[in-house]
Amino acid sequence: METVLRLCMADELPEGTSRGFDPMGTGRDTMFLVKRDGLHAWKNECPHWANTSMAWRKDAFLNADGTRIVCAAHGAQFDIATGVCTLGPCIGQTLKRVSLIDLDDGAVAVAREELETNT
Ligand code: FES
């Protein structure tokens, strides 16, 4: 049976912001949400280097005007909606999407099994 891990309320993030989450309790944010024309969920793993966290500080996954996801390590930029790298050392590669589950009370969640297997 699927284990659902609650993240936050769907309307909690202001437009144009991002937030990291550690739904598996690993001690670091393993995924993040971006609110821009809807909610987008991505694993916190840059395709340029395995196991590289992308935020330059807690919850800071975006460029200054909030239009692109940015990896702090070497500056790769990614389209928020598609996850495709449009600038930088891994151009054309894609972030790993995390499927969001809408809960009845307006919160969003992820399936533990997806985080475990979508590596
Ligand atoms: S690890 Fe992300 S750009 Fe190099």
- Residue span of the structural domain in which 50 resides: 4-117
Pocket of ligand 1 (CB under 6 A): 46, 48-49, 52, 71, 73-74, 76, 88-89
pLDDT at position 52 is 82
Q: What is the tens place of the pLDDT at every residue in 52-86?
A: 889 989 999 999 999 999 999 999 999 999 999 99
Q: What is the tens place of the pLDDT at every residue in 17-59?
A: 999 999 999 999 999 999 999 999 999 999 999 878 899 899 9
The total of structural domains in the chain comes to 1
pLDDT at position 118 is 52
Nearest atom, ligand 1, residue 89 CA = 3
Q: Which of 42, 44, 45, 49 has the most ligand 1 atoms within 8 A of CB, as the residue to mutate?
A: 49
Instruction: Give the CATH number for residue 86.
Output: 2.102.10.10
pLDDT at position 114 is 86
Residue 2 CA, ligand 1 centroid: distance in Å: 32
Measured CA to CA, the distance from residue 71 to residue 40 in angstroms comes to: 16
pLDDT at position 2 is 80
pLDDT at position 69 is 98
Instruction: Report in angstroms the alpha-carbon separations of 72 from 27, 56, 62, 92.
Output: 19, 5, 9, 18
Question: With left for phi above 0 and alpha for psi between -120 and 50, is residue 16 left, alpha or beta?
Answer: left
The mean per-residue pLDDT over the stretch 96-117 comes to: 93
Q: Is the pTM of this model over 0.75?
A: yes
Nearest atom, ligand 1, residue 72 CA = 2
Nearest atom, ligand 1, residue 90 CA = 3
